[in-house]
């Protein structure tokens, strides 16, 4: 029996242009993947004749051409969880490598992204909500054009809100600076709660524009 659209999406699968096959995106905490997992992805792709594998704009790995009948077996063979969240929720955080490898990195972006994902990834929101984290002001992860963006500095984190690179691009506005890891988590929690409580069905940038940045900042900083 053919599965429903909702049950397919729960398996991390997204219908493609041919309306017959799906794409799946495994979840890699912090965006890190080891060589054995890459080999497994290659083996699974060959086994199920998946001819296209692509690194996404968010730094993930997407496998295309998946048949609905193969979905369960592919996930079992991969031994990985789905990471391609869709719909009205917090998406997996995007990050650069940060100070664990980069000579310019000032903060640990990987651990921060893991911490954020553990607490908030998949959390329902009025519209999709994207978070990006860069370990230094060079901003390789493009935090200024995400709903919530973090930029590492020598004194902590700068937190931006309301950025987007969509149809109407916006640069995020500075909400806080020189904040600690714990303060970042606390502030993201306040932002998401306030966003949900207002019940305004708009993306974060349009939501902030509607109510005004001053009112938004007063409510999440109090």
For 144-195, write each residue's pLDDT tens digit. 999 999 999 999 999 999 999 988 999 999 999 999 999 999 999 999 999 9
- Domain residue ranges in the chain: 5-78, 94-221
Class of domain 5-78: alpha beta
What kind and span of H or E run contains 3? Answer: none
pLDDT, tens digit, 9 for 90 and up, residues 31-83: 999 999 999 999 999 999 998 999 988 888 999 999 999 999 999 999 999 98
pTM of the model: 0.92
- Cβ contacts of residue 107 below 8 Å, gap of 6+? 98, 99, 135, 136, 152, 153, 156, 157
Topology annotation, domain 94-221 = Sulfite Reductase Hemoprotein; domain 1 (3.30.413)
């Amino acid at each position: 029996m053919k599965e429903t659209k909702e049950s397919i999406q729960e398996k991390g699968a997204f219908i493609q242009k041919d309306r017959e096959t799906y794409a799946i995106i495994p979840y890699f905490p912090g965006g890190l993947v080891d060589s054995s997992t890459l080999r497994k992805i290659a083996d699974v792709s060959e086994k199920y004749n998946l001819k296209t594998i692509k690194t996404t704009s968010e730094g993930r790995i997407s496998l295309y051409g998946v048949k609905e009948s193969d979905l369960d077996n592919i996930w079992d063979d991969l031994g990985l969880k789905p990471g391609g969240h869709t719909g009205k929720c917090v998406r997996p955080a995007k990050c650069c490598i940060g100070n664990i490898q980069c000579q310019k990195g000032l903060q640990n972006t990987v651990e921060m992204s893991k911490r954020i994902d553990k607490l908030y990834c998949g959390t329902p929101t009025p519209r999709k909500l994207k978070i990006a984290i860069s370990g230094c002001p060079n901003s390789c992860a493009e935090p200024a054009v995400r709903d919530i963006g973090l930029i590492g500095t020598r004194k902590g984190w700068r937190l931006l809100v309301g950025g987007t690179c969509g149809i109407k691009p916006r640069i995020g506005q500075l909400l806080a600076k020189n904040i600690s890891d714990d303060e970042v988590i606390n502030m993201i929690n306040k932002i998401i709660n306030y966003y949900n409580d207002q019940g305004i069905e708009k993306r974060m940038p349009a939501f902030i524009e509607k109510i005004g940045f001053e009112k938004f900042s007063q409510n999440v900083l109090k």
